[in-house]
């Protein structure tokens, strides 16, 4: 493949302290790829890397590299467009390594030429704030995330991150691109790990042109705000009235949720409104509910389901990794993801069916607790004898079960077995 890297100053890695563009380009070059570099003109003009393994294209440098944020028309690259077009000629992928006006211009040229582009997010705003001594002002990092998204990253469909914690921050700040987490910080000593990470990066470059649709798991800030207002102001009052007053449903053990941060919750699937009573138990927190794609993608009630926290379970096995990555990003930002591990709903069933392992695999990957929940039924009493013939449900909330092993596969197996045994023993209603 022909891969083009765009960086402010290639010879000093563009001031990116956490990612070496030179090393990354070298590793790809050694695997037989043709590497081109677009960078600002410096004292090193005309110089190539030490073994001449890739070609460098120099662009006249902006005097003040910060002014692009405020004076977007100040810097015009009319004279350099021919150089950029030459660098992009025949390219298979463009990798823009940092937010800059050079990156914006190259992105526009690549977009017109139909060349897939991926942006790198390699500098943490928290580190910038800490280095300039402004970490006392809490909103500072959030402001940088917002400015970078608005002025630069919102244009991109694909972003490469160095850690899942960074990817989680991007999601929480409304970044909608597909996020890829591949780090080179732990591969310098292990040749096998190096080859694996390079193969993963190669597969990402190859998939860029195929993955041009929007990320259905990503939710912008406006959607998050609107859905929260709808959830708090309309959905919760309506659900409270219907479940508590009309159906007489009860919740026990809510104290077990105190102090809970990111977690996976699981419950038996025995009622068409069991997700509603789970939502009420978790309130004021809003959980994410993986569900069948048809429940989310339809115009009605799909839009409402999505607003209330529904996300589609992938129908294609190739999308499973992306699904687990996105759910892990949520858990890392202290969200709650709820699963019905039995899979299909079986109304008013009093037994416990076998579990699918997805919820436990996710909890093990994210290293978060699992909270078991159990719905039991009892005959209606008092006034409900007059208005209901069907049993009344009670949701019992158990204590969180923390990770038990550092190896994800082992941890998932152990906790799935323990959760099942606890729920199976406590079907008599003494779950708390």
**pLDDT tens string 400-414:** 999 999 999 999 999
Which is higher by pLDDT, 150 or 246? 150
Q: What does the pLDDT look like over 181-227, one tens digit per residue?
A: 986 544 444 555 667 888 888 889 988 887 767 777 888 888 888 98
In terms of domains, do 287 and 239 share one? yes
What's residue 404's pLDDT?
94
Q: Above pLDDT 90, what percent of the chain?
A: 49
Rg (CA), the chain: 26
In terms of domains, do 202 and 226 share one? no
> Which residue's structure tokens are 């890397």?
49
In terms of domains, do 77 and 169 share one? yes
Q: How many domains does the chain have?
A: 2
Q: What does the pLDDT look like over 13-29, one tens digit per residue?
A: 555 656 788 888 888 88
In terms of domains, do 177 and 59 share one? yes
The model's pTM? 0.84
Token pair, residue 310, equals: 């529904």
In terms of domains, do 146 and 261 share one? no
In terms of domains, do 345 and 254 share one? yes
Q: Is the dihedral of CA 62, 68, 74, 76 positive or negative?
A: positive
The residue range of the domain holding 139 is 2-207
Distance CA 404, CA 412 (A): 9
Token pair, residue 302, equals: 């799909």
What's residue 44's pLDDT?
56
Q: Tell me whether residue 343 is exposed, middle or buried, using C-beta atoms within 10 angstroms of its C-beta: 0 to 12, 13 to 18, 19 or more.
A: middle
Q: What does the pLDDT look like over 274-300, one tens digit per residue?
A: 999 999 999 999 999 998 888 887 766
In terms of domains, do 194 and 234 share one? no
Task: pLDDT band for 270, please (50, 70, 90 cuts).
Answer: very high
CATH number, domain at 104?
3.40.50.2000
Q: Give the domain-ending residue among 207, 235, 269.
A: 207
Please, are residues 359 and 266 in contact by the beta-carbon 8 Å criterion?
yes
In terms of domains, do 349 and 420 share one? yes
């Amino acid at each position: 493949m022909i891969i083009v890297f765009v960086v402010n100053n290639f010879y000093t890695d563009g001031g990116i302290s956490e990612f070496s563009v030179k090393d990354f380009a070298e590793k790809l070059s050694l695997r037989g790829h043709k590497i081109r570099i677009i960078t600002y003109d410096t004292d090193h003009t005309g110089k190539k890397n030490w073994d001449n393994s890739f070609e460098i294209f120099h662009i006249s440098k902006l005097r003040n590299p910060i002014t692009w944020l405020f004076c977007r028309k100040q810097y015009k690259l009319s004279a350099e467009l021919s150089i950029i077009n030459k660098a992009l000629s025949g390219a298979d992928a463009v990798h823009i390594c940092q937010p800059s006006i050079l990156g914006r211009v190259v992105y526009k040229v690549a977009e017109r030429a139909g060349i897939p582009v991926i942006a790198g997010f390699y500098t943490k705003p928290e580190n910038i704030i800490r280095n300039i001594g402004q970490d006392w002002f809490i909103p500072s990092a959030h402001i940088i995330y917002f400015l970078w998204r608005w002025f630069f990253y919102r244009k991109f469909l694909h972003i490469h991150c160095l850690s899942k914690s960074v990817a989680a921050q991007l999601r929480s700040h409304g970044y909608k691109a597909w996020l890829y987490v591949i780090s080179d910080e732990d591969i310098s000593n292990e040749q096998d790990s190096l080859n694996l990470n390079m193969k993963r990066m190669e597969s990402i470059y190859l998939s860029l042109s195929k993955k041009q649709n929007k990320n259905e798991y990503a939710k912008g800030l406006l959607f998050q705000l609107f859905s929260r207002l709808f959830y708090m102001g309309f959905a919760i009052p309506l659900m409270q009235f219907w479940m508590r007053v009309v159906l007489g449903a009860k919740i026990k053990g809510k104290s077990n949720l105190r102090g809970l941060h990111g977690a996976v919750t699981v419950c038996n699937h025995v009622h068409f409104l069991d997700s509603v009573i789970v939502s009420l138990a978790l309130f004021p927190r809003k959980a994410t509910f993986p569900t069948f794609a048809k429940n989310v993608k339809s115009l009605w009630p799909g839009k409402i389901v999505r607003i209330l926290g529904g996300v589609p379970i992938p129908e294609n096995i190739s999308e499973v990794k992306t699904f687990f990555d996105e759910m892990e990003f949520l858990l890392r930002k202290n969200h709650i993801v709820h699963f019905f591990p039995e899979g299909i709903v079986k109304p008013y069933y009093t037994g416990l069916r076998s579990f699918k392992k997805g919820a436990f695999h996710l909890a093990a990957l994210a290293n978060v607790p699992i909270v078991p929940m159990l719905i039991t039924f009892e005959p209606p009493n008092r006034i409900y004898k007059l208005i209901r013939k069907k049993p009344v449900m009670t949701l019992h909330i158990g204590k969180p079960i923390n990770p038990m092993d550092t190896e994800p596969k082992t941890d998932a197996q152990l906790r799935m077995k323990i959760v099942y045994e606890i729920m199976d023993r406590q079907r008599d209603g003494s779950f708390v």
